[in-house]
Structure 1
Amino acid sequence: MSLTNASPLDAAKAAKSASHVLATLSTSARNDALTAIHAALTASRDEILAANARDLELARQAAADGKLSSSLVARLDLGKKGKYDDMLKGILDVRDLPDPVGKVTLRTKLDEGLELERVTCPIGVLLIIFEARPEVIANIAALAIKSGNAAILKGGKESTESFIAISRAISSALEKTSVPNDAIQLVTTRDVIPELLALDRHIDLVIPRGSSDLVRYIKTTTRIPVLGHADGLCAIYLEQSADPATAPDIIVDAKTSYPAACNALETLLVQDTALTTLLPPVASALAAKGVELRCDEKSKAALASALPDLKIVDATEEDYYTEFLSLTLAIKTVSSLDEAITHINTHGSHHTDAILTSDKAQAEQFMSAVDSSGVYWNASTRFADGTRYGFGTEVGISTNKIHSRGPVGLEGLMIYKYKLRGQGHVSAVYGEGEGKKRYLHQPLPLE
């Protein structure tokens, strides 16, 4: 991995050249590189966490001055809740996954001696633009190398010390492997994002990791395909038959286990017939965790009657379109499953949404009709994560309608190519007319 202050064009050209080498390396060569990266980051833990502490000190001051959001500061902390160990484990998890490169997904005999194959191959050069989240560097490096892709990373200034320390460790590791250092580059030059986004001839995919403003800016500024999501506006529908023993735990976990995460709960939809039965214990559990409840008129009335001492804020329509990324939750009453589905498809961000119910038919209808990358039944939205899905780690969560959707791991970083093997065949002899040959189009076993 190289720390580069080269021009964006030179960095992209170097990455493109490195991608051609990386795509041809053996599985063992790419796995050896991940083993080396893991060892280097383990050995450099103290140095990296010290650098992260310096970033955090500046970020907290900026947040106190109103220049940085508290949610971004939370994402910056690499020493929090075992995050560093999770980063290290993610590298080995990716290493131990099956090689995604060169998998045959289709074989067809077009004619005798003329066989077609479809095989998986890397996308090419990835551009990852991220805010805070210094672990993104290790996550992306691991996934890119394993999948045979080169990657250019551009981080926000709030995590400068952290990502420089991580990059140096990764660079020292790659020097001892077959993976070119230019395959993973961290651009240190400031204010070059517009130039990078213009390099559609050299960069194949942009993956933004950060605020909704960042993602929207990138999506409207570049011709390069963008993989990601602008908001994580996740909802849970609390249906009248939901289990009263588990519903509070699921909702509290979804909202409070990591409020700054994109898979945290932001809107709770409550069936009107559950307002007096299920909602009060849920609201009480949320309030005990310090969650501010913004309620519509019906849910407010139900809670005021059941829990007169509970503090409630009147919800606005804007609250149901808001990704709070904090201990704030919007609550809305709906009369039916169809109304809940319509609300989610209208107000949501197509990230992750869940239904809590004992009715299997309603659950299946919800999961079929809600237009999101993740749809859950009786489970917290916080499960929307590449590591929890068994992907090792992820480059991000996509709400796109093409290519990849949901947590994007190795499979999401692959495309495919067609290989045709012939013996002097020419296309002109095939067709439907007199004297023309017909294709066999015979499926062959995958080997």
Structure 2
Amino acid sequence: MTEAFTRPLLATIQSVHQASRTTGQLSTEAKNHALEAIAQALETFAPEILAANQQDCEQAQAEGLPNALIARLKLDANKLQGAITGVRQVAGLADPVGEVQIKRELDTGLILQRLTCPLGVLGVIFEARPDAVIQISSLAVKSGNGVVLKGGKEAIHSCQAIVKAIHQGLAQSDYPAAALALLTQRSEIQQLLELDQWVDLIIPRGSNEFVRYIQDHTRIPVLGHADGICHLYIDQAADLAQAVAITVDSKTQYPAACNAIETLLVHAEIAPKFLPMVCDALQAKGVELRGDATSCQFVELVPATATDWATEYCDLIVSIKVVDSLDAALEHIDTYGSGHTEAIVTQDQETARKFLAQVDAAGVFHNCSTRFADGFRYGLGAEVGISTAKLPPRGPVGLEGLITYKYQLVGDGHIVQDYSGPRAKAFTHQDLT
């Protein structure tokens, strides 16, 4: 890292850090006003944002970038309006800052409180996904955090246009525009990852290789998931028509998403009838089908390899495997699942209960599409990403994932010595309303 590159970047990060010391103190009304101002500015600048995105998409296509990346990059009018709706939905959510989680009298006049507070500065690094700028910025404002955004070069014009609009909106509010910054140079990524003194959380959004790189090159805590290998298990007691509809939606509604299924598991008892039904429906949507030896007995498929079970396609490709029991399906998911989202289709409630209880994933669904694993659909307003970590936050992460807490203790000359020794005072430890 050279001194020439470090100084401007460090100054930017320190400016965000300084601004974040005040954003956590703003009232709910002030933050909501800022969010409405951002929403209005995005609507005003929509033509400019969409034109910038069109420029990025044309450049990406000219450079031959993968279809999955271009799908994430594209921001049409409907997608932009959905993101703006998300901003207003965030404004309608309860303020997560300043909540009193514990209020306890330790002794007369010695009062302990545990209060929620912002994390500080979020560093968000993403490939494509310009709508992530809107989602994360709105959540950062509502949670009182500063945010440093670094988009991929393929989304540079989109990101600049969106941040321009957001800054225009913040200028009409009491929320400091300095609390939100956009980085534009690739060389700044590694520098950002080294600034653990100033950045409190890194949120990467992109391919599994990209997220793994971020996780492996920083001491800053990382929120995210490296893989999105999701499964749908069709049980012998499934409603087959329902199972076909759920399968098609889970794979084709948005195949580039991390919550789209990559593997379809089918119980052997229904495979002869179900596989022709579901394969016809998937092929009608342009899906390439790969299958194990058993499934190839019932329909014509490309033979699957061992690599297919561990692959996140992010494309119109699905691998199919026939299993002889629920336990076999659970074993396959345990071996190849990424802890993202897993689903079962069945009318047998005991089978569903076992699946929901035993599958270890951030999202476990029964008789519905895996595509519901989304912060907006969960009513979180938006999401900063999906975490597959065991410790919280887990799954789609909204406001609750961007706060922490601190203990405040207020006394009146109290000292620990008075509570030690043979004449020690006793603590009252009385919870207060």
Same fold (TM over 0.5): yes
* Counterpart for residue 359 of structure 1: 348
* Counterpart for residue 308 of structure 2: 319
Contact 2:200 2:221 in 1 (8 A): yes
Q: Which amino acid aligns with 2:199?
A: I
- Determine the C-alpha separation between the residues in 2 that align with 1:38 and 1:6: 33
- Determine the C-alpha separation between the residues in 2 that align with 1:113 and 1:345: 53
**Residue from 410, 418, 426 that aligns with 1:438:** 426
- Matched residue of 2:241: which SS? coil
In the alignment, structure 1 residue 206 sits paired with structure 2 residue 207: no
* Counterpart for residue 45 of structure 1: 46
- The TM-score, its normalising length taken from structure 2, stands at 0.96
- Determine the C-alpha separation between the residues in 2 that align with 1:111 and 1:242: 60
**Residue from 104, 108, 121 that aligns with 1:125:** 121
- Matched residue of 1:246: which SS? helix
- Determine the C-alpha separation between the residues in 2 that align with 1:427 and 1:267: 60
Q: Deviations over 1:405-443 (max 9, x none)?
A: 000111111111111122222122225x53222322223
Displacement of 1:135: 1.1
**Residue from 341, 348, 365 that aligns with 1:376:** 365
- Matched residue of 1:355: which SS? strand
In the alignment, structure 1 residue 391 sits paired with structure 2 residue 380: yes
Q: Deviations over 1:168-223 (max 9, x none)?
A: 11112212221111101001234211110000000000000111111000000000
* Counterpart for residue 308 of structure 1: none
Q: Which amino acid aligns with 1:442?
A: Q
Q: Which amino acid aligns with 1:406?
A: G
* Counterpart for residue 307 of structure 1: none
* Counterpart for residue 71 of structure 2: 74
Contact 2:228 2:338 in 1 (8 A): yes
Contact 1:5 1:189 in 2 (8 A): no
In the alignment, structure 1 residue 219 sits paired with structure 2 residue 207: no
Displacement of 1:13: 0.8
- Determine the C-alpha separation between the residues in 1 that align with 2:108 and 2:344: 53
* Counterpart for residue 186 of structure 1: 182
- Matched residue of 1:273: which SS? coil
**Residue from 216, 232, 238 that aligns with 2:234:** 238
- Matched residue of 2:319: which SS? strand
In the alignment, structure 1 residue 60 sits paired with structure 2 residue 61: yes
Identify the range of structure 1 (239-248 vs 435-444) with the bigger mean alpha-carbon deviation.
435-444
- Matched residue of 2:390: which SS? coil
Displacement of 1:5: 11
In the alignment, structure 1 residue 27 sits paired with structure 2 residue 28: yes
- Determine the C-alpha separation between the residues in 1 that align with 2:302 and 2:8: 51
**Residue from 110, 128, 142 that aligns with 2:106:** 110
Contact 1:76 1:159 in 2 (8 A): yes
Contact 2:6 2:191 in 1 (8 A): no
Contact 1:127 1:153 in 2 (8 A): yes
- Determine the C-alpha separation between the residues in 2 that align with 1:365 and 1:19: 45
Q: Which amino acid aligns with 1:213?
A: E
Change (3 A) 1:440 1:335: farther
**Residue from 89, 93, 96 that aligns with 1:93:** 89
- Matched residue of 2:141: which SS? helix
Contact 2:343 2:367 in 1 (8 A): yes
Contact 2:289 2:318 in 1 (8 A): yes
Contact 2:290 2:318 in 1 (8 A): yes
* Counterpart for residue 197 of structure 1: 193
Q: Deviations over 1:46-78 (max 9, x none)?
A: 111111111111111112xxxx21100011111
- Matched residue of 1:7: which SS? helix
- Matched residue of 2:63: which SS? helix
- Matched residue of 1:323: which SS? coil
Displacement of 1:349: 0.8
Displacement of 1:10: 1.2
- Determine the C-alpha separation between the residues in 1 that align with 2:38 and 2:7: 24
Q: Which amino acid aligns with 1:79?
A: D
Displacement of 1:6: 6.8
- The TM-score, its normalising length taken from structure 1, stands at 0.93
Displacement of 1:390: 0.1
The percent of aligned pairs where both chains have the same amino acid is 51
* Counterpart for residue 320 of structure 2: 331
* Counterpart for residue 262 of structure 1: 258
* Counterpart for residue 420 of structure 1: 409
- Determine the C-alpha separation between the residues in 2 that align with 1:6 and 1:163: 23
Superposed structure 1 runs of 4+ greater than 6 Å apart: none
- Determine the C-alpha separation between the residues in 2 that align with 1:438 and 1:340: 57
In the alignment, structure 1 residue 142 sits paired with structure 2 residue 138: yes
Displacement of 1:368: 1.5
Q: Which amino acid aligns with 1:33?
A: A
Displacement of 1:337: 1.6
- Determine the C-alpha separation between the residues in 2 that align with 1:427 and 1:144: 39
**Residue from 392, 399, 423 that aligns with 1:403:** 392
Q: Which amino acid aligns with 2:27?
A: S
Q: Deviations over 1:298-345 (max 9, x none)?
A: 111122xxxxxxx41000111000000111001112222222112112
Q: Deviations over 1:356-387 (max 9, x none)?
A: 11111221211121111000011100000000
- Matched residue of 1:158: which SS? helix
**Residue from 150, 154, 159 that aligns with 1:158:** 154
Change (3 A) 1:423 1:39: same
* Counterpart for residue 15 of structure 1: 16
**Residue from 270, 279, 282 that aligns with 1:283:** 279
- Determine the C-alpha separation between the residues in 1 that align with 2:176 and 2:365: 41
Contact 2:102 2:113 in 1 (8 A): yes
Tell me the C-alpha RMSD between the 2 structures.
1.5
- Matched residue of 1:127: which SS? strand
- Determine the C-alpha separation between the residues in 1 that align with 2:238 and 2:245: 12
Q: Which runs of 5+ in 1 are unaligned?
A: 304-310
In the alignment, structure 1 residue 36 sits paired with structure 2 residue 45: no
What is the number of equivalent residue pairs in this alignment? 429
Q: Which amino acid aligns with 1:69?
A: P
Contact 2:153 2:184 in 1 (8 A): no
